[in-house]
Homo-oligomer: A and B are copies of this chain.
Amino acid sequence: MFEELSTPAFVVDRAIVRRNCERMRARLNPPTRLRPHVKTHKTLEGARLQLGAETGPITVSTLAEAEFFADGGFRDITWAVPIAPSKIGRAATLATRIDRLNLLVDHVDSVDALDAFASSSSTGFDVFLKVDCGTHRAGVDPESAASIALVERIVASPHLRFRGLLTHAGHSYDVDSVEAIREIAAEEAACLTRFAGKLQVAGIGVETRSIGSTPTCSVVERLPGVEEARPGNYVFFDAVQTGLGSCTLEDCAASVIVSVIGHYPERAAIVTDGGALALSKDGGARHPGREPEYGVVCDLAGTPIPGLHLRGLSQEHGQIAVDAGVEIERFAIGARLRVIPNHSCLTAALFDRYTVVEGAEVVGEWKPARGW
C-alpha cells in the first residue's frame, strides 16, 4: 500500500493515534477534565479520537481553526493564543454561534479592547488570563501585583466573564531528563494554584486552572489536580518527543513516505523527494556538538534503519548520509522510506490531506483546517 502513494505523503496511523489518546485519557484524575489541543492535526477526526466522543471541549491555536471546528459541531472552544485586537470582531461573531469561546489575554490593552468592543456591541466575552509559569514566551508574572490588578480589571468589567488561569510549560521542551520535566510539571500546576490563592485573598474565585504541554502531561502517571489539561502533540508525537522521553518511537503516529530519487554510493549518500516542504526545517532538539538531523529514517514498517542520517533538507530534496558498513544498494532509485518528523505539528501543516492507515491498510483520509 505504501508503495502506491504519491510521494511525499503524510501518513497517520489511526490505531496509534487511538492508543495515544486512550492513554492520555487514562491519566485523568478528578477534578481534571481534558480539553485537548487540536493544533497538531487540526482535523475533526483527530479531535474526536482525543475526546473519545463525537464532540467536547477543545483548544485551538488560530481563529480559523476555531471556526473550522465550530462548523464541525464543536461548541466549547478555547483559543489559547493571546488575541490580536483586530480579530475581536471575528471572535465575537464566532462566539454567537457556539456555546463557549474562551479568549486569552495577558495585557491590559487587550482587556480594554475586548471591554470596549463588548460595550459598544452589547455582547460579552469569556476570558482566561495567560500566566507565565517559567517559559517566558507569553503570560503575566504570577508573582507580580500588577497581575492581580489585571484580573481585577477583568472582573470589574460588566462585559467580560473571568473564566480562569491558563498556562503552558513550553520550557519542558528545553530540559534533558524526565526528572526535570516532572519538576516543571509540578510547578506548572503549583504556579496556578499559588496565584489562585492570591486572587482568593483579593476576593476573586478561579473557576478553572488550565495547564498543559505534551511533555509535562506524558511523563506523569496522573495529571496534576487542576481543573483542566490541554496537551496536543501526543496525538501524533514525533522525534523530538522521543528525545524528551514523552514517548517511544512506536508511539509516533505520523510519518512522511518518501521515494529515493538519488543514489550515490561513491559518496555514501542517497536523496529522497522529501525535502523542507514535506518535513519542515525544524532542527529538533539541540544536541551540542552533533549535526542536526531532520527526522528518523525508517523502513515502511516504521522500524528505524541504523546508519541513515537525514542531514540536509532543501526545498524538494532530502539528503541522507549513509554510514560505512550499511548496504546502500538496499536504497535504490524508487525505493521508499518512512520518515518520522522532528516536529509533527509543523510537518502536518505542510499537507492539505493526510492518508490515514492502520498498520499497512489505508482506512481513510483526513482534511485539516488551514490558515488563520
Contact = CB atoms under 8 A, between A and B. Distances in A.
A175 to B, nearest CB: 16
Nearest to A351: B371
Given A82-B271, A137-B271, A316-B81, A109 B332 contact: yes
A60 to B, nearest CB: 10
Contact of A346 (B107, B144, B259, B276): B276
Nearest to A168: B314
A362 interface: no
Interface in A227-269: 259-263, 266-267, 269
A317 B83 CA distance: 11
Interface stretch (A189-197, A200-208, A280-288): A280-288
Interface string A269-295: 101010011101111000000000000
Contacts of A276: 280, 282, 346
Given A261-B81, A271-B137, A333-B85, A283 B280 contact: no
**Size band of the A side of the interface?**
35 or more
A207 to B, nearest CB: 24
A97 interface: no
Interface string A3-43: 00011100000000000000000000000000000010000
A141 interface: yes
A333 B372 contact: no
Contacts of A86: 6-7, 259, 334
Nearest to A63: B6
Nearest to A139: B262
A106 B262 contact: yes
A312 interface: yes
Contacts of A109: 263, 332-334
A87 B259 CA distance: 10
A141 B271 contact: no
Contacts of A83: 261
A315 interface: yes
Given A276-B346, A314-B137, A7 B372 contact: yes
B282 A110 contact: no
A21 B141 CA distance: 50
A318 B312 CA distance: 25
B317 A81 contact: yes
A240 to B, nearest CB: 12
A367 interface: no
A345 interface: yes
Given A8-B372, A281-B281, 5 more contacts: A82-B271, A84-B259, A84-B334, A107-B333, A280-B281
